Structure 1
Amino acid sequence: MPKLLREQYVRLPKVYDWVLVTSYSRLRLPVPEPFRPSLHAALRNGQPLSVQCLPPDHPCSCQPVSCRLLPQLRQATYLADSQPMPLSIARFVIEATLSVLFFATGDLLFELPVPLALDEHVALSLPPPLDHTNITYRIAAAECRPNPALLPHTGAVELDVFACLEILVEAPVVLEVMGRMCTPRPDSIPVPARKLPLDCSPFRLPPHCRRLH
């Protein structure tokens, strides 16, 4: 008897919004007083200076990084095709510590930890009764670009910091679909023959173990 299609109900997570946000900040990092003598000595000796900045997700960086969603959501309205659409404004705070390394002629002079805080407001589709507990997020990527052009003149380096934040709004829903109940398939796929090992010679006893007849 054929299995007829009928209404079925499935429960699965529904995605209401999915956003990638790029957060950016430019910092000016003055070299602290204890490290200035070695920096000035390298400049007097004509050594080429270079700066490297390790973002928080770099495998060589052991500095902590965190991303927090503040639970207070602000409600707003956005016009889409002349139709008002409710939105929720969520505030995310990214806190990290960057590792900035200073080199002279390829040799490490010193390393500075730099605290960083990025504040980002994001508009999300969050229809009632959803709230901040339906929002998941993660830092998808991070990048830190140092600019040492000002270092010989001001003793400071500029840092351009980027962070990519992935945000997902989801909640479980029950959907009605047309389907039919199914059963497991029969075991009809043949199993390939097992390959024998390369050394298939018969077992032989060592000479001193052979029996004398």
Structure 2
Amino acid sequence: MKKRKQFRGSQTPTPSPSPIPLDTNDLAPECIRVDKVYDWVFFANKYENKNFIPDEACRAAVSAALAAGQRVEVQTAPVNPADVSVSGSIIENGNPGKVLIVWTVPVDVTILINGVAECSFTVRTQFTDEIMLCVPVGITNDNLNIRATQVIATSGGVLMGPDPFGPMIPLKVVLCKDVQVEYPVKLEVLAKFCFPRPNNIPVPEERLQCDLSLLEFPRQCPGLFPVANCECQATALARNEDTIATFGSGGTADEVTGLSTLRAEICQECSLADSTWSYSFTDTEVGPTPAPTATGFQPDFSFTFDPSSIDRVTCGDDALTAVGEGIRYFDGAPEQLFYELQIFDAPTEGFRLILRNTANVVIFDSGVVDALVEFGECETFADLLGDLDD
């Protein structure tokens, strides 16, 4: 391994940093009276239908304009989701059960002939959905909380229709829908933030029956909702910490002295989605004027690295390891790499970053670098179930 001579110079002192606090999301027992969410789906559908012009004079004017070859246009006004009427009916209770939802969407329409408004009116379009939800015995229609979150209405123009109804207006309506099943209960719960699942349960032809009459409250749907969380969490903060890094591997590797800066928050609130980090390395062996060597000028190994994904986090004793992909900006050029970030608080607080290329060859190893580290275990449902089995 080649060792390079370090250029020494004055350094500007920096304020002592403080550690990044952990946003804990540990599970703790609480007795509460709440509307328990038994299921929650979010999905969207597109509907198309044709509607007649309700005003007789407008129908006649549009028919005459079409016959004369004039330009006839249809404009639709934005629809407020709060104006959408919706009703839900449980067809079959079960785990899952079948629910029928009827949507009524009012769309304000204006017809223009050669760019001039001829008439305006409201078209009420109605659509239905059959979806599968967790609706065990004890859940009624009153426990369905259904709403439209966004409505997009468009028209492709006026179509000629059969007499005596006259021209028809084709409408396309896109509905974004939020459907929840709620039931008021008193619970001792272990809670954290949760998110909806996709509407991915097919509607079966045969009815599913679940006898839950002996239960005080309807059962939850295991395996569907909610999702698991991280088993540990950590933060790390390093600002211009001394680093002896290795660039490359094998006999051609370079050992470079520099400074590392890292800010990492992994599994904040015990959720993998609440994870972010960034890293930069500053080569301190390169002075203001590059020094000539036997093979040319001394290179500057400084770079920054930003992750594009955090695929997996594994936990150990007083440490965690995050792996994924990211982009290294070396001399201004981006390069896609795989990373392994280790954060630990014993026996000393610090981190280690390893970067590999697409051939799985190590091209950078920071070694162990000092950092301010906060590490904590996440109390999960699996931990609690394990304690019950002991």
What are structure 1's unaligned runs of at least 5 residues? 1-6, 77-85, 178-213
Partner of 1:89: 98
User: 2-side partners of 1:58 and 1:151: how far apart?
Assistant: 30
Report deviation, 1:13. Answer: 4.8
Question: 1:31/1:122 Cα in 2 relative to 1: closer, same or farther (>3 Å)?
Answer: same
Partner of 2:62: 39
Report deviation, 1:98. Answer: 2.2
Structure 1 residue 26 corresponds to structure 2 residue 48: yes
Preserved CA contact (<8 Å) 1:23 1:118: no
RMSD over aligned Cα atoms: 3.2
Q: How does 1:168-187 map to 2 (within 5 A)?
A: 168-171=180-183, 172=185, 173-175=187-189
Report deviation, 1:126. Answer: 2.6
Residue in structure 1 matching 2:168, options 128, 137, 156: 156
Report deviation, 1:103. Answer: 0.8
Summarize deviations over 1:155-200 as a string: whole Å, max 9, x none: 32211222222111234432269xxxxxxxxxxxxxxxxxxxxxxx
Partner of 1:69: 88
Structure 1 residue 16 corresponds to structure 2 residue 34: no
What are structure 2's unaligned runs of at least 5 residues? 1-27, 192-390
Question: What TM-score, normalized by structure 2, do the two folds share?
Answer: 0.35
Q: How does 1:91-170 map to 2 (within 5 A)?
A: 91-148=100-157, 150-151=159-160, 155-170=167-182
Preserved CA contact (<8 Å) 1:53 1:100: yes
Summarize deviations over 1:59-110 as a string: whole Å, max 9, x none: 9xxxx5411122x43145xxxxxxxxx2121111112332221112322111
Moved over 6 A (4+): none
How many residues are treated as equivalent by the alignment?
157
Partner of 1:80: none
**What secondary structure does 1:148 align onto?**
coil
**What secondary structure does 1:35 align onto?**
helix
Question: 1:151/1:52 Cα in 2 relative to 1: closer, same or farther (>3 Å)?
Answer: farther
Report deviation, 1:152. Answer: 9.8
User: 1-side partners of 2:30 and 2:176: how far apart?
Assistant: 37
Summarize deviations over 1:7-42 as a string: whole Å, max 9, x none: 743325543211123344321124454223322444
